[in-house]
Amino acid sequence: MALEASSESLDLASSFTLSASGTFAKEDFVIKRSGIAAINHTEVRRTGLQLQDLEFFEVLGKGASSLVRRAVHKPSQAQLAVKIINVFDKGKRDQLLRELRTLYSSQNYPWLVAFHDCLYDEGAMYIVLEYMDGGSLADVLQAAQLTGSSALSEPVLARLAARVLGGLNYLHVDRHQVHRDVKPGNILLNTAGEVKISDFGLSAELDSTTEMCATFIGTHAYMSPERLGGKPYSFASDVWSLGITLVECADGQYPYSSFSSANPNAFVLLSQIINDPAPTLSTETFSPAFADFVARCLHKEPEHRPQAHELLEHPWLRMHDDALRPFDFGAFVLTVNELRQPHAPR
């Protein structure tokens, strides 16, 4: 929607400013139609991206704070993913700033989705990201169901877990940040064999590694018991979410019986996660090392869960290291793409 104003700028509820010339300013960011113009009162180099150079295609997903569409940069023919956010929604606006801070300051980090620029136009913000042509882990699980197996192998899951833990270790140690929404839909893959974490709109920065978050947002099905119980939580909450994700991928179904995407029972699910024993993997079906890895992630007491950097040294990940057991993860993603819907982008 267009914003009409006779004055040079409008201060909307003192939370952000829109100028008549099309400039969005909030806290440390100034964003124009031509992209991010300044951060912390310092001018930044422009990328040259322009909205008119983008051709938009299908919707890739609807996250907690946005709509994501595939786009092609017409001058270069490069494929991109563009997250579109309505700046007049306060909740989404706050998430926008959190996501931008993470993306902009983490450029070129290998296990986080790459950021190109952010453009503002007519009440909408366009965050331009790299396009991950393998879709999300949720898409992979759906494709696995088409084969009748519905479960992923340990070699696949070990490599996926190692890459996710690399991203979490960066967020936890370098940025003092809890992701708060680790789940299959926010783990992206591509045919180059890369696995990256996405959607930082719910992330919370902590002043120190011991400070706890006291808010209650995110996807309940993957939340840790301490979060669902309304207790303070920290980095261990992300480790729990990864553990639940791995159990779901290994068994081919979500581990708590009360959860169904068709008919979810939120109250029973909350009670199960808080009160029932944590999910486990059978050593008759899975390796003892994998079962132990998951058990450590899913310890009910957060102080007993290992940190991301500790889990990266676990024997299960070591036994599946590419140096010992080469595995073409990119070929795996390519195979999954072939199983996906005919209209899915390649």
- Give tens-digit pLDDT for 93-105: 777 787 888 888 8
Taking 50 as the threshold, does the pLDDT of residue 188 lie above it? Answer: yes
Q: Quote the pLDDT of residue 20.
A: 53
What architecture (CATH level 2) is domain 137-339?
A: Orthogonal Bundle (1.10)
Of the pLDDT bands very low, low, confident and very high (cuts 50, 70, 90), residue 122 is confident
Q: Quote the pLDDT of residue 131.
A: 94
Taking 60 as the threshold, does the pLDDT of residue 257 lie above it? Answer: yes
Catalytic residue list contains 181? yes
- In degrees, rounded to 5, the angle at the alpha carbon of residue 98 between the alpha carbons of residues 96 and 102 is 115
- Tens-digit pLDDT profile for residues 302-332: 999 999 999 999 999 999 998 889 999 999 9
**How many CB atoms are closer than 10 A to CB 8?**
9
Type of residue numbered 297: C
Helix (H) or strand (E) holding 158: helix 154-169
Q: What is the CATH number of domain 9-130?
A: 3.30.200.20
Taking 50 as the threshold, does the pLDDT of residue 179 lie above it? Answer: yes
User: 148 φ, ψ to 5°?
Assistant: 90, -10
Alpha helices per DSSP H over 194-345:
225-228, 236-251, 266-275, 288-297, 308-311, 315-319, 329-339
Domain ranges of the chain: 9-130, 137-339
Say how far apart CA 238 and CA 178 lie, in whole Å: 7
pTM of the shown model: 0.86
Of the pLDDT bands very low, low, confident and very high (cuts 50, 70, 90), residue 9 is very low
Most confident residue range from 95-109, 207-221, 225-239: 225-239
What helix, strand, coil percent values describe the chain, rounded to 5? 35, 20, 45
Taking 50 as the threshold, does the pLDDT of residue 169 lie above it? Answer: yes
Q: Which residue(s) pair with 9 in the sheet?
A: 19
Among candidate residues 133, 181, 199, 238, the one labeled active-site is: 181
Of the pLDDT bands very low, low, confident and very high (cuts 50, 70, 90), residue 63 is low
- In degrees, rounded to 5, the angle at the alpha carbon of residue 303 between the alpha carbons of residues 302 and 308 is 80
Of 122-126, 195-199, 279-283, 289-293, where does mean pLDDT reach its minimum?
A: 122-126
Average pLDDT of span 155-181 = 94
Q: Quote the pLDDT of residue 170.
A: 93
- Tens-digit pLDDT profile for residues 10-46: 444 445 676 655 788 877 888 888 888 888 888 888 8
Most confident residue range from 48-52, 220-224, 282-286: 282-286
Of the pLDDT bands very low, low, confident and very high (cuts 50, 70, 90), residue 8 is very low
Residue bearing the bigger pLDDT, 20 or 184: 184
Of the pLDDT bands very low, low, confident and very high (cuts 50, 70, 90), residue 167 is very high
Q: With pLDDT > 70 as the criterion, what percentage of the chain qualifies?
A: 84
Taking 80 as the threshold, does the pLDDT of residue 208 lie above it? Answer: no
Average pLDDT of span 227-233 = 92
- Contacts of 13-22 with CB under 8 Å at 24 or more apart are 13/90, 15/90, 15/93, 16/87, 16/93, 18/87, 22/120, 22/121
Mean pLDDT of the chain: 84
Q: Quote the pLDDT of residue 155.
A: 95
Taking 90 as the threshold, does the pLDDT of residue 123 lie above it? Answer: no
Q: Quote the pLDDT of residue 66.
A: 67
